[in-house]
A and B are shown apart, each in its own frame.
Chain A
Amino acid sequence: MDEEIKNTEPELDELGVCQKERDEYLAGWRRAKADLANFKKEEMERVQKMVKMGNENIVRDVVAILDSFDLGITATGAESAAGKGMMLIKTQLEDALKRHGLQPIRAEKGTMFDPTHHEALGEIESELPDGVVVEEIERGYSLNERVIRPVRVIVSKAKQSK
């Protein structure tokens, strides 16, 4: 009796091993299939994001040109013929970028400093409350709601005279 059981044991074991292996392989296969399906979905998202990112890199470089226009218009005088021309070219460029999702981010004097859109370049003692924007140094931009350049500002510091 004992022997019989012993004899059948290895067979059962072998079957058990096979079953275990089968389950493992099946699970592995399912996982691989699922991975592929997920990968495809992600890949689609990634491609879309790549397109956006590609735009982002271009726009990031181009906004530096918008800065130069701003400075140029200020230096030339917005009322002069050259200044007006420059202004028009700037508007044209800006409009083109707006169509692709570019939005300027401004920081009004007196608004609370907010690191989600602002970057502080320095601080200055002023009459304004502590921690509010005193001056906008460089305009910020967002592309399709994502900040590609924070607006650079100077922040007020409470006067030390106590």
Chain B
Amino acid sequence: MAKILGIDLGTTNSAMAVMEGGEPKILENHEGNRTTPSIVAMSKANERLIGLLAKRQAVVNPKNTIYSVKRLIGRKFKDAEVQRDRALFPFEVRESVQGGIEVKMGETWNSPEVISSMILQKLKADAEAKLGETIDEAVITVPAYFDDSQRQATKNAGEIAGFKVRRIVNEPTAAAFAYGMNRMKNEKIAVYDFGGGTFDISVLEIGFDAESKEQTVEVKATGGDTHLGGDDFDKRIIDHLIAEYKKQEGVDVSKDPLAVQRLKEAAERAKHELSTAMESEINLPYITSDASGPKHFVMKLSRAKLESLVQDMIDHSIALVKEAVTAAAPKGAGLKIEDINEVLLVGGQTRMPAIQEAVKKLFGKEPHKGINPDEVVAVGAAVQAGILQGDVKDILLLDVTPLTLSIETLGGVATPMIQKNTTVPTAKTQVFSTAADNQTSVEVHIGQGERPLMADNKTLARFILDGIPPSPRGMPQVEVTFDIDANGILSVSAKDKASGKSQTVKIEASTSLNKEEIERLKQEAATHAAEDQKKREVIEIKNQAESLVYVAEKSLKDAGDKVTAELKDAITKKIERVKEVKDKDDAEVIKQATQELSTELQKIGEMMYKDTKPNPEAAGPQPEQPTQ
């Protein structure tokens, strides 16, 4: 089945994704990048350049380098927006015969559709090269505020590029899809999209009719500023750095192209760094020189400073959000801020903590931001494509285990068999052993939860496997298998390898905890993590002490009269000491007693080496973690 390409045809950058194995996946372009600049040019050598290559020559070929054509597509030449943008474009824009728009590139006049189609064509070719198959169909996204004519023009661009355009999807809707909000739920969603060159806010209402099983997505309101974006932030930083340097050193570096280039890169790096760090140092040696010799650029930029540089733009965006949500129709959605159920962040600039904070403060809830904000729209377009090509329905919906499934081992430790979030069906087998000599039965205790001690987790089942032939501890091999089938039914079986005896239990409801219960168990695990860790350590120390006592007693017995009575006596004393303290909860004391015994025990080896070869059984290996 041919794939449908999901395309985010952006003002500054475009991205594409496909469904693969039921998951959306971003496709890299020919240059190996995950986004492609939405720029087309006719070079001086009369070559058509698209994307990064067009961008690289933009400064020297401004008249023939077409960017932001999305601002023109499907519009009338007389539109106020077109007239305003036209003044900013270095390339020529004129009215077409039908009152539309044409831009000049090279010797020819092209409609915005044709320019856009060139970008789409490149994406198509790159995707085909990447996937090794032809792609004829696409889902393309547009801003929610696009009118019919703009949508139709975008669709035309797709057709010119050789696609059958299966659907034109709103960008905020695609973002909501990417976050899986195409489920059966009635919700009001605000999408805050701060891209490189534009800021959009959209308010959506997802409705679901339970009877007809039909879902509707209604755009309640849109707003924004088509000339506000992350690029403005970059410019503010560079201007600040140049001004500050002039103040400090009295040198204006803004006319030196190399200095500006280095500052630009450093500013971008600092901006990214300040999303995680509180301070970034910009260090550019030999930035310039004057009569006194070379000069260096060393400046610290704090997150607070960066925020103060752009605060007005953030505030402006928040004011626009408020308007879009609360203003009466048609200006806004006529809702209250608290009516919004979900908030999504889209666009690279939303990585900035100050923006995330501002949005969170306004809505009083954590916005969704898990998916790369540069890619979320393309991902959503691919999800829509997947629904159209039947992928989402076709592929078996595979469940995951919500919580870890474990088995109880010595000291009440919950030893994980199947980790949480493992995709089912799955199976896991591990061999366990006994904890005491001549133990003829083991109890298999199955639990569910994230805590390291079984007592704190939920017990699913217990059973006893008996008939194990009497043998020293650690010898028997009991094979335990956890198997979850596609319906979430867990079977646990235990088999003694020597006798061949086995026991099986089936647990029907292993994955059917309700959502609250799962959350509660996860929360508990997180809050108790530190104390649990400590408890577990104590148990491990106790277990070590116990097995050392066992080894020591066995060694004494095996060595017989090869060791002096003196040493025997000393070791016995140490063994008694360990036995005495091992059931108390003082880890340090147990550790010390174990250590002393271990030191003493080594003397047996030393003594035996003196006159004979070592007895291979004298120092038994640490037994595997045995079941109780």
The reply on B396 being an interface residue by CB < 8 A is: yes
A113 touches B44 (CB 8 A): yes
Question: B-facing mask of A31-63, CB < 8 A → 1, else 0?
Answer: 110011011000000000000000000000100
Among A117-145, those with CB < 8 Å from B are: 118-123, 130-131, 137-138
Q: Which residues of B contact A130 (CB under 8 A)?
A: 44
B257 touches A120 (CB 8 A): no
Contacts A28-B394, A35-B20, A150-B56: A122 and B285 contacting too (C-beta < 8 A)?
Answer: no
A121 touches B261 (CB 8 A): yes
Comparing A11-19, A67-75, A89-97, the segment that makes contact with chain B is: A67-75
A32 touches B395 (CB 8 A): yes
Q: How large is the interface on B (under 10, 10 to 19, 20 to 34, 35 or more residues)?
A: 20 to 34
A137 touches B261 (CB 8 A): yes
Q: How far is the CA of A72 from the CA of B286 in the complex (A)?
A: 6
B285 touches A120 (CB 8 A): no
Contacts A75-B286, A131-B44: A157 and B60 contacting too (C-beta < 8 A)?
Answer: yes
A28 touches B262 (CB 8 A): no
The reply on B45 being an interface residue by CB < 8 A is: yes
The reply on A64 being an interface residue by CB < 8 A is: yes
Q: Which residues of B contact A116 (CB under 8 A)?
A: 53
A68 touches B21 (CB 8 A): no
Among B38-79, those with CB < 8 Å from A are: 43-45, 49, 53-54, 56-61
Q: Which residues of B contact A122 (CB under 8 A)?
A: 59-60, 257
Q: Which residues of B contact A64 (CB under 8 A)?
A: 262, 265-266
B289 touches A75 (CB 8 A): yes
B59 touches A115 (CB 8 A): no
**B261 CB to closest chain A CB, in angstroms?**
6
In the complex, residue of chain A having the shortest beta-carbon distance to the beta carbon of B47? A115
In the complex, residue of chain B having the shortest beta-carbon distance to the beta carbon of A121? B257
In the complex, residue of chain B having the shortest beta-carbon distance to the beta carbon of A149? B265
In the complex, residue of chain A having the shortest beta-carbon distance to the beta carbon of B52? A115
The reply on B293 being an interface residue by CB < 8 A is: yes
Q: Which residues of B contact A119 (CB under 8 A)?
A: 56-57
Q: How far is the CA of A131 from the CA of B261 in the complex (A)?
A: 21
**B12 CB to closest chain A CB, in angstroms?**
17
Q: How far is the CA of A74 from the CA of B265 in the complex (A)?
A: 22
Q: Which residues of A contact B396 (CB under 8 A)?
A: 28, 32
- Interface Cβ pair total, 8 Å cutoff: 82
Q: Which residues of A contact B266 (CB under 8 A)?
A: 64
Residue in A71, A146, A155 whose Cβ sees the most chain B Cβ within 10 Å: A71
Q: How far is the CA of A92 from the CA of B258 in the complex (A)?
A: 24
Among A21-36, those with CB < 8 Å from B are: 28, 31-32, 35-36
Q: How far is the CA of A130 from the CA of B60 in the complex (A)?
A: 11
Q: Which residues of A contact B370 (CB under 8 A)?
A: none
A115 touches B262 (CB 8 A): no
Q: How far is the CA of A80 from the CA of B45 in the complex (A)?
A: 44
Question: A-facing mask of B11-46, CB < 8 A → 1, else 0?
Answer: 000000000111000000000100000000001110
The reply on A112 being an interface residue by CB < 8 A is: yes
Q: How far is the CA of A120 from the CA of B53 in the complex (A)?
A: 10
The reply on B294 being an interface residue by CB < 8 A is: yes
B45 touches A131 (CB 8 A): yes
Q: How far is the CA of A146 from the CA of B32 in the complex (A)?
A: 9
B285 touches A71 (CB 8 A): yes
Question: A-facing mask of B345-386, CB < 8 A → 1, else 0?
Answer: 000000000000000000000000000000000000000000
Among B240-267, those with CB < 8 Å from A are: 257-258, 261-262, 265-266
A39 touches B394 (CB 8 A): no
The reply on A154 being an interface residue by CB < 8 A is: yes
Contacts A28-B394, A154-B257: A75 and B60 contacting too (C-beta < 8 A)?
Answer: no
22 residue pairs of the A-B complex, CB under 8 angstroms, read A31-B394, A31-B395, A35-B20, A36-B21, A39-B20, A64-B265, A68-B284, A75-B286, A75-B293, A112-B45, A115-B54, A116-B53, A119-B56, A120-B56, A121-B257, A122-B60, A123-B60, A137-B258, A137-B261, A138-B258, A138-B262, A155-B60
**A9 CB to closest chain B CB, in angstroms?**
29
